């Protein structure tokens, strides 16, 4: 390593490229000026303004509710899918689980829009957003759970069976405790994906319901204000915490998905 | 999930169905069926007030396809989307390779932290990452230009390239490099003749992971680009939300799907050829 300092230089440049833009966003959220141009002085006024903005609070509430419900459902279904894919190797399920993860998001968004409006004749809103978020989160949970199972010795499940454990008992007493970190990581992952999602939500949200990313989008389209910096910084802090937690629960999350 | 407690011969089949069926059904209904309907919608007629015209009234036809293939603008925008995706992939590769190599050759206990440092910025919201570039490029007078679009695309998709590259590079046997060194190969030769060829699978999967989402991206061209920088994703969004010509939107979505499948097939083909090669 010491012999190739240019590698360090190039890598440092890449890290700087990853972090500096976000640092700028956070920095200007504390700037005592309505312009994101030059540093004037320190203030937390933009955060105060945020907390007294009813539209923003409503969007934050919606985002948290949607994330909590959709990630819970996606964790249950994704865990089932992960177990099934590892244990019984179904032919069709991996295609169903992995394709939504690999496709450009816009395709899932517009096809669900078409399905909800044209086939189900549904008014877009909380329900359509929930379904969409569950659909794209299942794959991530399944990948994480499956990776965890793949690294385990299958003989312990056989041992449980040989000792007379029913499938359910074997699951609760043997499988579940072993894959719990992966399930927790999958939950945190889908919570983050849900709270962060813009593209798919944009198509299935309709006019009534706003989430934080949708709110940020409509603000950015109008003007660049420090309020956007403040809400961005808060959202960033939240997702960073969630990802760091997920990485703690299941380090393999870092290598596997996406 | 409750199974009879009769031991010894567990009803494995029943368990299998109880576990496999719920996720399968959910994804068939909310992923596969909508995808099929999308394909079917491309043959329908646009409704008077948006959406699709009733089947009895509009019938089926190839109007949307004729429209797309007759107007050269659609081919042009698709070509432009490919060019942007290609350029983004190349730039990501250039930026990602040194970093992935550095992480792979760091001491084992430091690697997870370095990988986490790649993922953290990536975990922040897409719009926030785009917004950061609005702030940076605005004062430089580079906003609403192709340069801004490429910068945003590279920034947003860079981790997709770093992670598969790292996963590949980490597996390389250091003994190979030592052998090359013993045989008199310099740093550059060792990289060109050993590391680079071995990392081709990582380069391939990273490239696919960058190329495919860039191809469908609409938010970055919309927020950072000018009116001339719109890509296929923007056209699709326009047809579904603004013009409300859903058959045309469905046709364009299908075109994008075919493009994505082609890219995925080419990548898989390359990967297989490499595996079969002696």
Note the pLDDT of residue B190: 87
The string of pLDDT tens digits covering residues A180-191 is 888 988 898 899
Q: Is residue B138 assigned to a domain?
A: yes
Cβ–Cβ contact A244 with B under 8 A: yes
Does the pLDDT of residue A128 top 70, yes or no? Answer: yes
Q: What is the mean pLDDT of residues B224-235?
A: 89
Split at pLDDT 50, 70, 90, the class of A256 is very low
Split at pLDDT 50, 70, 90, the class of B276 is low
Q: What is the mean pLDDT of residues A21-31?
A: 89
% residues pLDDT > 70 (chain B) = 92
Note the pLDDT of residue A200: 94
Range of the domain at B230: 71-276
Cβ–Cβ contact A21 with B under 8 A: yes
Residue B264 is part of a domain; what is its CATH number? 1.10.3720.10
- Encoded tokens for A141: 């949970």
Report how far residue B81's alpha carbon sits from residue B73's, in angstroms, rounded to the nearest whole number. 12
One DSSP character per residue, B133-172 reads: HHHHHTTTT-SSSHHHHHHHHHHHHHHHHHHHHHHHHHTS
Topology of the domain comprising A49-255: MetI-like fold (1.10.3720)
Note the pLDDT of residue A130: 96
Does the pLDDT of residue A2 top 70, yes or no? Answer: no
Give bridge partners of residue B52 from the DSSP assignment: B46
Of A142, A228, A239, nearest to B124 by CB-CB distance is A239
In angstroms, the Cα distances linking B123 to A18, A244, B116 are 11, 10, 10
Split at pLDDT 50, 70, 90, the class of B278 is very low
Q: Is residue B119 assigned to a domain?
A: yes
Whether residue A182 contacts residue A147, with contact meaning beta carbons closer than 8 Å, is answered with yes
- Alpha-carbon gap: B23 to the closest alpha carbon of chain A (Å): 5
Q: Is residue B15 assigned to a domain?
A: no
Q: What is the mean pLDDT of residues B201-209?
A: 91
Of A3, A17, A235, nearest to B128 by CB-CB distance is A235
Of A161, A168, A213, nearest to B1 by CB-CB distance is A168
Note the pLDDT of residue A150: 86
* Cβ pairs bridging A and B (under 8 Å): 273
In this prediction the ipTM stands at 0.85
Are B28 and A96 within 8 A, CB to CB? yes
Q: Is residue B32 assigned to a domain?
A: no
> Nearest Cα to A106, choosing from B225, B18, B240, B81?
B240
Instruction: Show me where the domains of chain A are located.
Output: 49-255
Does the pLDDT of residue B83 top 70, yes or no? Answer: yes
Are B34 and A142 within 8 A, CB to CB? no
Of B24, B127, B260, nearest to A217 by CB-CB distance is B127
Contacts of A142 in chain B (CB under 8 A): 23
**Considering Cα of A224, then A230, then A231, then A236, what sign does the dihedral take?**
positive
- Alpha-carbon gap: A196 to the closest alpha carbon of chain B (Å): 5
- Encoded tokens for A8: 């360090």
Note the pLDDT of residue B7: 45
Does the pLDDT of residue A258 top 70, yes or no? Answer: no
Of B2, B135, B253, nearest to A107 by CB-CB distance is B253
Whether residue B210 contacts residue B89, with contact meaning beta carbons closer than 8 Å, is answered with yes
Cβ–Cβ contact A61 with B under 8 A: no
For B246, counting Cβ atoms within 10 Å of its Cβ (0-12 exposed, 13-18 middle, 19+ buried), the class is buried
- Alpha-carbon gap: A175 to the closest alpha carbon of chain B (Å): 13
Mean pLDDT, rounded, of chain A? 86
Q: What is the mean pLDDT of residues B117-136?
A: 86
Contacts of B102 in chain A (CB under 8 A): 1, 7-8, 10-11
> Which residues of chain B from 36 to 95 reach within 8 Å of chain A, CB to CB?
37-38, 41, 51-52, 95
Contacts of B218 in chain A (CB under 8 A): 106, 199
Buried b (16+ CB within 10 A) or exposed e, A169-183: bbbeebbeeebebbb
Q: Is residue B28 assigned to a domain?
A: no
Split at pLDDT 50, 70, 90, the class of B56 is low
Split at pLDDT 50, 70, 90, the class of B48 is low
> Nearest Cα to B119, choosing from A47, A250, A133?
A250
The string of pLDDT tens digits covering residues B149-192 is 999 999 999 989 999 999 899 888 888 888 888 888 888 888 88
Cβ–Cβ contact A227 with B under 8 A: no
> In sequence order, which ranges of A103-162 are alpha helices (DSSP H)?
105-114, 126-150, 155-162
Q: A40-49, A133-142, B173-182, B266-275: lowest mean pLDDT where?
A: B266-275
């Amino acid at each position: 390593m010491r012999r190739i300092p240019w590698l360090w230089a190039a890598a440092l440049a890449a890290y700087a490229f990853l972090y500096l833009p976000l640092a700028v966003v956070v920095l200007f959220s504390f700037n005592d000026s309505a312009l994101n141009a030059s540093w004037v002085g320190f203030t937390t006024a933009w955060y105060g303004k945020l907390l007294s903005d009813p539209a923003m609070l409503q969007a934050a509430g919606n985002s948290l509710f949607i994330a909590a419900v959709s990630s819970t459902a996606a964790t249950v279904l994704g865990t089932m899918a992960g177990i099934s894919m590892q244990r019984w190797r179904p032919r069709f399920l991996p295609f169903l689980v992995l394709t939504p993860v690999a496709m450009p998001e816009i395709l899932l968004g517009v096809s669900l829009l078409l399905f909800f409006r044209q086939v189900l004749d549904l008014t877009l809103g909380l329900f359509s957003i929930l379904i969409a978020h569950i659909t794209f989160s299942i794959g991530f949970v399944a990948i994480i759970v499956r990776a965890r199972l793949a690294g385990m010795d299958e003989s312990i499940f056989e041992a449980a069976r040989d000792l007379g454990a029913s499938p359910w008992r074997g699951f609760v007493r043997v499988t579940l405790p072993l894959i719990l970190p992966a399930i927790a990581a999958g939950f945190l992952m889908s919570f983050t994906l849900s709270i962060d999602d813009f593209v798919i939500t944009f198509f299935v949200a309709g006019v009534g319901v706003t989430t934080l990313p949708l709110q940020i989008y409509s603000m950015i389209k109008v003007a660049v204000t420090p309020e956007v910096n403040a809400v961005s910084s808060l959202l960033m802090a939240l997702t960073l915490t969630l990802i760091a937690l997920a990485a703690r629960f299941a380090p393999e999350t870092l290598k596997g998905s996406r | 999930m409750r199974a009879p407690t009769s031991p010894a011969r567990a009803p494995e089949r029943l368990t299998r169905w109880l576990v496999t069926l719920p996720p399968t059904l959910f994804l068939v209904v909310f992923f596969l069926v909508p995808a099929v309907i999308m394909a079917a919608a491309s043959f329908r007629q646009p409704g008077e007030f948006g959406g699709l015209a009733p089947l009895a009234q509009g019938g089926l036809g190839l109007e949307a396809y004729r429209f797309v293939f007759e107007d050269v603008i659609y081919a042009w925008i698709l070509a432009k989307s490919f060019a942007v995706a290609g350029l983004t992939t190349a730039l990501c590769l250039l930026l990602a390779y040194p970093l992935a190599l550095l992480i792979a050759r760091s001491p084992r206990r430091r690697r997870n932290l370095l990988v986490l440092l790649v993922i953290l910025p990536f975990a922040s919201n897409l719009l926030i990452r785009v917004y950061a570039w609005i702030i940076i490029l605005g004062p430089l007078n580079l906003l609403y230009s192709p340069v801004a679009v490429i910068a945003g695309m590279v920034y947003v998709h860079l981790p997709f390239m770093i992670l598969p590259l790292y996963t590949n590079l980490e597996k390389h046997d250091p003994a190979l490099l030592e052998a090359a060194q013993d045989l008199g190969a310099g740093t550059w030769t060792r990289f060109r003749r050993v590391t680079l060829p071995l990392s081709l699978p990582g380069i391939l999967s990273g490239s696919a992971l960058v190329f495919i989402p860039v191809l469908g991206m609409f938010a970055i061209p919309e927020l950072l680009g000018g009116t001339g920088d719109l890509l296929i994703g923007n056209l699709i969004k326009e047809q579904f939300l603004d013009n409300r010509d859903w058959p045309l939107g469905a046709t364009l979505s299908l075109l994008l799907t075919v493009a994505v499948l082609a890219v995925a097939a080419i990548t898989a083909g390359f990967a297989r050829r490499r595996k079969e090669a002696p």
